Amino acid sequence: MRSQLFVPGDSEKKLAKGLDAGADCLFVDLEDSVANANKPAARAMTRQFLASARKAERRPLLYVRVNALDTGLTDADLDAIMPGAPDGILLPKAQGGADVQHLAAKLAVREAENDLPDGGTRICCVATETASAVFGLASYRSSSRRLAALTWGAEDLSADLGAETNRLADGAHAPVYILARNMTLLAAVSAGVQPIDTVYPNFRDEAGFRRECIEARRDGFTGKMAIHPAQVPIINEIFTPPAEEIERARKIVKAFADNPAAGVIGMDGEMLDKPHLERARKLLARISVAR
């Protein structure tokens, strides 16, 4: 999934608009964008939305961002939304693999209660929203077969640190947040799950947003979260490999398949070895699962 669009769970208008935004995935939000007084109504609205949206012939993946495990609200969120059969749960303020296992156990119970496929509800974690969470990134590896993706967050992390801002004057992230970003990328690849880049809050700054998308794809992220529908087309464009890259990847895979005993192959004036083959395979795997 290249693009993940946040949509508040207490707005029928924005939920409906989100379905038509072209995102690969909707993150229906029960956490930060919903006031405490509105959470019961948001849960009910989200459940109805899930049940209705799943009937569409073509639809995005439907994930729900629940409230963090330490809030005491997660169980109420899951009780309300699991009858709607979400494709996955976005877990905020995750501290590591133990939180994934904790959430997985809660999901298993509710899947059984609602006659849903065992293990069918996937998990994506926001893995860097507190300073302590950064030190738990390695624990996501082998934590659960439900884990589908890791992403990172700079806004909550800056609040936890007591920082004045998380970005420099030119719009780039400050060094400590670049560290969290890079560690999340490494942790996701180590765990064998999708690395997703964080949001770009200034949705009117198209040039800055486009630049950040390009940098994320360059480094190995395969998707990016959006806070506004206008960001979705840019994400989809940048995180869809160009036709020439796809063709080159196919040529590399075929060249090694035709020469299984070769460790190094010459192609188009360049010497290619196993890392080139691995990159080509990963690119083609992304294309094969694109929605």
Query: In angstroms, rounded to a whole number, what is the distance separating the alpha carbons of residues 60 and 54?
Result: 9
Instruction: Give CA separation, 39 vs 8, 10, 15, 228, in Å.
Output: 10, 8, 15, 21
Question: Rounded to an integer, what is the distance from CA 66 to the centroid of its chain?
Answer: 14
Q: Average pLDDT over the chain, rounded to whole? A: 93
**223-226 and 265-267 strand pairing:** unpaired
Domain map of the chain by residue range?
3-238, 243-288
* Position 284 pLDDT exceeds 80: no
Instruction: Give CA separation, 68 vs 8, 158, 192, 250, in Å.
Output: 16, 17, 24, 42
Question: What pLDDT score does 290 carry?
Answer: 47
- Which pLDDT tens digit goes with each residue over 107-139? 999 999 999 999 999 999 999 999 999 999 999
pTM of the shown model: 0.88
Query: In angstroms, rounded to a whole number, what is the distance separating the alpha carbons of residues 125 and 131?
Result: 15
Query: In angstroms, rounded to a whole number, what is the distance separating the alpha carbons of residues 139 and 126?
Result: 14
Query: Domain 3-238: what homologous superfamily?
Result: Phosphoenolpyruvate-binding domains (3.20.20.60)
Higher pLDDT, 262 or 66: 66
